[in-house]
Structures are given as C-alpha cells and as structure tokens.
Amino acid sequence: MNITRHISLSTALMLAGVTSIAVAQVKPPPPEALNPTIVYFTRHADDVPELVGSDPTYGVTFSNCNAAGSCCVETLNPLGKVRAAVLADWFESKGITRTLTHVIASHKLRTRQTVAKIANLAGLGGDLNGDGNPDGTDVDQAPGDGVINVPPFPAECDPGWTSSSSVIQPQTNYVNTLHLGSRAVLCSHSPALYPIMQAFGIDTSDPVNFPKDSRGRVSGFNNLWVVELKPVVDSGVLRYQGRLMTHILLDFGLDATLTNRDYGLGSGRGSKDDED
C-alpha cells in the first residue's frame, strides 16, 4: 500500500479524533529528502518551587495561587531561565533552530518560557522586524511568540484548570497532525513525556535512556530525546510510529540540587502531587 508523503491536516485531525486544535505553524516542512518527521522531546526547565538554602529539610514556596489554594502558577526560577537560554543556544549551535517548523508547549507557563527563545531563533515568532509587535501567527496564550500551546486553554490556574498530566492526549493528537517531514520541539511535563512517547510505540523502560524518579516520571531537567516518526497503517488507521534516535543528556554545568528534586507521593497544597 502506498502512503502519501504528506499527511493533510484535516485528514490527520479526523483520524486522531480531534475536534478543535490551535493551528499556528506557518513554516512549510523541509524538502522531501529530509523526511521523516523529527520531534525533539524535552521537559520544562527548573521552576518554582525554590529550595531554601541547601538544607534537606527545605521548604517549598509558591506564589500567585488561586483563591482556593488548589493551584499555583509555576514560572521558571533563575536557574530555569538560564537553562532555557543555554538550551536555545545549544539548538542554535547544532544548526537545528532554522529547520524547525513547530515549537510546542503546554498550557502551563513554565513550558512556554522554556522554549520561547527557541521559537524566536527558529523564526516562528517574536518581534523579528523590530516594530514592537510579535510577528508569529500562533493564536493562543501569547499570540505571535511562535510557541504553540497544546492545549491552549485554560491558563494554568484559571477556572476549570487542569493538571500537567492532562496534556498527554492533546499533545499526542497534535503530533499526529504534523505533516511528514516536519521538525518540532515539544516541551512538556514529567508525568506526560513518557506516556506521549509510548503512544508512538516507543519503549521507555530503559532507565538510562529514560531516567525516572520514584513515581516513574522524568527525572531531572537536562534530558532531550530525538524521535523519528514515520506514518504506518494500523488496523486501517494512518498514524505515526516512533523510533528513539538518541537520548542526549545536556550537561550545561548548571549545578543545583533543584535538578533532581523528587517530591514523592505527598498530597495537599505545596506538594504539587500531580504537577511537574
């Protein structure tokens, strides 16, 4: 059976069962010779909560919480901002940024902050012409920044807010809509990244290529997975099948105990049991 080289957006949406989705990318996929689709999976950079000193009995501080105290907006902490900057510089130094057709984040602010500079360097958004207005065409949480929020709404602690693990199906569906030959960065969360990769048939059991904390989630903030996606027909349905090309441990020399934090299975305000 011949498979067309480009999966149309409308067909892929129908096959993936998606009824509405943010449409943002405007760069065409690279030439046919550069197929298949490549996705760079990464976790958001270091975020608040902050450690108080280096004492193992540290406290966790949240701010900008909703009235019920059930959700607090997490932004990148100073270390995370540095990590996001050097991550973008790494993509640039490897000649990857200008090949990118999509930069994808979740509805949580920390993921968008992590990849905003990558999207700008890729020419997908930001104030590229110097007129003071963002130039990208994405219409979501920060219109024009070039970062596609999947899902786009609600914002982190708005009414009806959802946990970080809620992004698994929307982000899986979105990846299935990518045109063959696309190059995408997908920034997500520790409980979501492995299930998303598993949805494309990738075995994440290897503890070296897929480091895990005590809950089986992504451990650390310095992992990058390069995944190749090829279209296959499975039970009459066209979808992507993935293959791990490489796992890169990005050692930028950013030494901080935040990097390997693991909150265990606590519950209640401040534990962020379903977050990361």
Chain segment 192-242, per-residue pLDDT in tens: 999 999 999 999 999 999 999 999 999 999 999 999 999 998 888 889 999
The answer to the question of residue 85 being in a domain is yes
- What does the alpha-carbon distance between residue 79 and residue 208 come to, in Å, rounded to a whole number? 24
pLDDT-based confidence at residue 103 (cuts at 50, 70, 90) = very high
Token pair recorded at residue 204: 């994440």
State what percent of residues in the chain have pLDDT above 90: 58
Our count of domains for the chain comes to 1
- DSSP letter for each residue of the chain: ----SS--HHHHHHHHT-S-------SPPPPGGG-SEEEEEEE---BSS---TT-TT------SB-TTSS-B---B-HHHHHHHHHHHHHHHHTT-GGG-SEEEE-SSHHHHHHHHHHHHHTTSSSS-SSSSS------SSSTTSSPEESS--S-TTSTT---GGGGHHHHHHHHTTSPTT-EEEEEE-TTTHHHHHHHTT-----TTTS-B-TTSSB-SS-EEEEEEEEEEEETTEEEEEEEEEEEEE-------GGGG---TT--STTT-TT--
Q: Would 154 be classed as within a structural domain?
A: yes
Domain region containing 106: 9-260
Between 120 and 3, the higher pLDDT residue: 120
- pLDDT confidence band for 58 (50 / 70 / 90): very low
Q: Model pTM? A: 0.80
pLDDT reading at 42 higher than 80: yes
Query: Is residue 269 in some structural domain?
Result: no
Q: Has residue 275 got a pLDDT over 60? A: yes
CATH of the domain at 122: 3.40.50.1240
Task: Establish if 31 belongs to a structural domain.
Answer: yes
Classify residue 268: in a domain, yes or no. no
The alpha carbon dihedral of 228, 229, 233, 239 has a sign of: positive
Average model confidence (pLDDT) for the chain? 82
Q: For residue 135, what pLDDT is reported?
A: 87
Burial of residue 31 (CB within 10 Å: 0-12, 13-18, 19+) is exposed
Report yes or no on 272 lying in a domain. Answer: no
pLDDT, position 53: 46
Instruction: Average the pLDDT over each of 119-128, 177-186, 251-260 and give the range with the smallest value.
Output: 251-260
Considering the domain boundaries, does residue 91 fall inside one?
A: yes
In terms of average pLDDT, the best of 105-109, 134-138, 236-240 is 105-109
On the question of pLDDT at 172 being above 90, the answer is: yes
Q: Are 195 and 166 a contacting pair, CB within 8 Å?
A: no
Residue 19 within any structural domain of the chain:
yes
Whether residue 178 is predicted with pLDDT greater than 50 in this model: the reply is yes
